[in-house]
Structure 1
């Protein structure tokens, strides 16, 4: 890739980000800020974060191809590249059949979207693809800089690296909670995971990793919840994040639960003292 992501990044939906948190995360030493929850084609959310920081990379994770056509997204990419050269990465993906009315032929739709981004002159090495299963992982290696897996485990990272080969970037997201009480941590985690464990893209992937229907039911088994949301001290969480790097990740993207907006910053600073 033409930009350096660093070993650790931070992921949040646009409404959690803001200038103060973005600047603080950059100051703490993280390499990239990722915007989730289908940011709009105008990429204004990314523009805000780029303007609030000086050198950190900003990326989308992901623009939903069912929601926004490729042409206006490509135009927005070029606007950001002109305003903030070398600092933006366009992550795209297909969303979920349970949430997108027009969901159909996902693989072919991704290919068509990437073709349209080619037409819009978005460089392949400045875009990435949300990918979980082998077929889309291979496509991400062939047509983009690499893959952005979400809601995964180090075992998925290991398998994904085998599928991608050595050259493509692999940037998994990992949820964390700075809480040492197991019962409190799992309660917070289950509340957050509830909607995700109803989405077939994620549950199918978890089953490929060996989790069962019983693991996924009723908010998730302790084993599954602890894997999807690391909890404990900063040192303990850092060990879990390192497991992704050991399994082949290029960058691990951290999503801290349990706080909002600028209140997230002390947690990221505490993790940075161990990670960075």
Structure 2
């Protein structure tokens, strides 16, 4: 599946209070030429319904889930919904799947065995009355075993909170063909203190979560880097902040390291849809 080299990742495209404004913004983003619009799983809910709203508003841009939790969304329901959207709109949703953390598995009443659980979920998608083709699904993989599974049984992987060095390592594990679409947080602000404060406002919760913290440690960050919402070193490594040239430099670093596509998440100090920032970034749509 061709999703271009850049896209936008946005919780606001699910959460914003005015659905009409989401539709209007999505149509504008489609005209700007972004390869994909990514919506996160958040706490569950009707993620395919939210994807459908974006499909109605767009003509060319791929709609992707980045990512839905396998513990919250039964595979057969997702397969049936995915097939319905494909029939109705003539293009698939790229179904991004994640194993979240142990707490999510325990809330679902099961042990946390991410590799076997994800493998079983993919089996269910294959065996559904309306199977989801491997090329229309991908995996949020941050460890080597899940990355290898993603390369064998899906279009590829969509890792979260990673550096270009991680991207290079993941490409080595995947081989040359699979999709590698890292999430990249961005703050459109060239004031260092303000940009880092804005970034911490969103990312501090994730940095403190066990599975993301473990991934960051594997990437070479220390306990000091993980404390207090993230050190300047960590924030600068996983967040691209500054003007459009600085953000483009980070995108190109991922692409040079082997990424197929980079999903940009605008973090803003203001609420609502970050349409001003999206317009500023429009030259990066490709």
TM interval, short-chain normalised:
over 0.9
Structure 1 242/204 Cα, relative in aligned 2: closer, same or farther at 3 Å?
Answer: same
5 Å-filtered alignment, 1:58-207, equals 58-100=63-105, 101-102=107-108, 104-120=112-128, 121-207=131-217
Structure 1 length as normaliser, TM-score?
A: 0.94
Equivalence for 1:8: 6
2: distance between equivalents of 1:50 and 1:145?
A: 20
The aligned residue for residue 35 of structure 1 is 39
Deviation digits for residues 42-68 of structure 1 (CA, Å, limit 9, x no counterpart): 610100000011121001111111011
- Alpha-carbon offset, residue 23 of structure 1: 1.2
The 4+ residue runs of structure 1 with deviation greater than 6 A are none
Query: What is the TM-score when the length of structure 2 is the normalising length?
Result: 0.91
Deviation string for 1:122-157 (max 9, x for gaps)? Answer: 111111111100000000000001001011111111
> What does residue 262 of structure 2 align with?
252
Cα deviation digits, residues 19-50 of structure 1 (max 9, x gap): 12211211111110111034546610100000
Matches of 1:191 and 1:30, distance apart in 2: 26
Which secondary structure state, in structure 1, belongs to the residue aligned with residue 39 of structure 2?
strand
Structure 1 unaligned residues grouped into runs of 5+: none
Give the drift of 1:6: 0.3
Check whether the contact 1:170–1:250 (CA below 8 A) recurs between aligned residues: yes
Q: Of the candidates 222, 227, 242, which is equivalent to residue 217 of structure 1?
A: 227
CA contact (8 A) 2:66 2:158 kept: yes
Pick closer, same or farther for the CA change 1:93–1:63 going to 2, 3 Å.
same
Structure 2: gaps (5+ residues): none
| Equivalent pair of 2:71/2:104 in contact (CA under 8 Å) | no
Look up the SS of the partner of 2:161 in the other structure: coil
In the alignment, is the contact (CA less than 8 A) between 1:41 and 1:63 conserved in 2? no
Once the two structures are TM-superposed, the CA of residue 261 in structure 1 deviates from its matched residue by 3.9
Q: How many residues align?
A: 273
Once the two structures are superposed, residues 176-208 of structure 1 have per-residue CA deviations (whole angstroms, 9 ceiling, x without a partner) of 001111111111111211110111111111111
Note the alpha carbon deviations across 1:89-119, whole angstroms, 9 max, x for none. Answer: 1111111224442451111100100000001
SS, match of residue 10 in structure 2: strand
Name the one with the larger helix percent: 2
Distance 1:275 1:83, change over 3 A: closer
